Amino acid sequence: MKANQLTATRQGNLVLDSVSYSFEADRFYGMIGPNGAGKTTLLHLLSGTDRPDRGEVLLDDRPIAEVPRKTLARRLAVLQQGGLPPVGFTVREVVAMGRYPHQNWLGGEESDPASIIDEALDTMGLRHLQKRRLHQLSGGERQRAALAKLMAQQPDILLLDEPTTYLDIGYQVSLLDTVRAWQREKGLLVIAVLHDLNLAALYCDELLALHNGKIAAAGTPEDVLQPSVIEEMYGTQTTAIRHPITGAPQLMLQPKA
């Protein structure tokens, strides 16, 4: 997947300014940057749900705008910010909706998808909640149901918009552990908007730092999470240390007084 000279304005403001980047399969990318930097806008353009003012997104060297929606849904899945609304469907019904791109016009498939749905429920620890309705779940449980729906979709590309928002630290780690294991097992391309820089460093192969609508830095977490880069983007001073177990860079904030 390639972003080619993407420029986008929203409500008269320039949000992305000629952004280009190539995303490779079997990699976990994290998009970081301050609020308003253009992260979510870029994710929406990559998903094909929004159109840029200029430039294009290429999927297998084909403009994504030319790919039929159902064909695209068999390749690409999106976890929107905030996950699923608390609607009245059961957890199993919601997960089963992930099979829509694979169904014929009568709503059937060549083989029974029950085992695929069961596997997604089991992976996210939701089998015991499968008959529970979404409005009866906690925010964290709804987020896990949303990810299980994407698993049932069986995409090649996974786009996540702030997937750990509203989750406590235990659920944050559990969800990202699951995504990373899934990404490695299936060779997925994962692109996630993440606010927690230390979590991004722990889980991502590469980071894309956006600032004022442009790419401020890109590369490995070691390359991007430099105190000078962080100060330029966020206006705050940090000290970078190594995680004692993984060796990933971790940032410590420096108070001014």
**Average pLDDT value for residue range 207-221:** 96
- Report the CATH fold assignment for 2-223: Rossmann fold (3.40.50)
pLDDT at 83: 66
Q: Assess contact for 173 and 11: CB atoms under 8 A.
A: no
Share of the chain above pLDDT 90, in %: 77
**pLDDT digit string, tens, across residues 28-40:** 999 999 998 999 9
Residue 159: pLDDT above 80?
A: yes
Residue 257: pLDDT above 90?
A: no
d(CA 99, CA 101): 6
b/e sequence 46-78, b meaning 16+ C-beta within 10 Å: bbbeeebeebbbebeeeebeebeeeebbbbbbb
**Average pLDDT value for residue range 222-235:** 94
- Three-state SS at 182: helix
pLDDT at 195: 93
- Average pLDDT of the chain is 92
**Average pLDDT value for residue range 147-176:** 91
**Average pLDDT value for residue range 209-238:** 94
Amino acid sitting at position 31: M
Residue 178: pLDDT above 70?
A: yes
d(CA 246, CA 202): 8
Neighbour tally for 34: CB within 10 Å: 15
pLDDT at 19: 97
Identify the band that residue 111 occupies on the pLDDT scale cut at 50, 70 and 90: confident
- For residue 215 the two structure tokens come to 């790419």
**pLDDT digit string, tens, across residues 49-106:** 999 999 999 999 999 999 999 899 999 999 987 667 767 899 999 999 999 998 887 7
pLDDT at 108: 77
Q: For the chain, which residues make up each domain, given as ranges?
A: 2-223
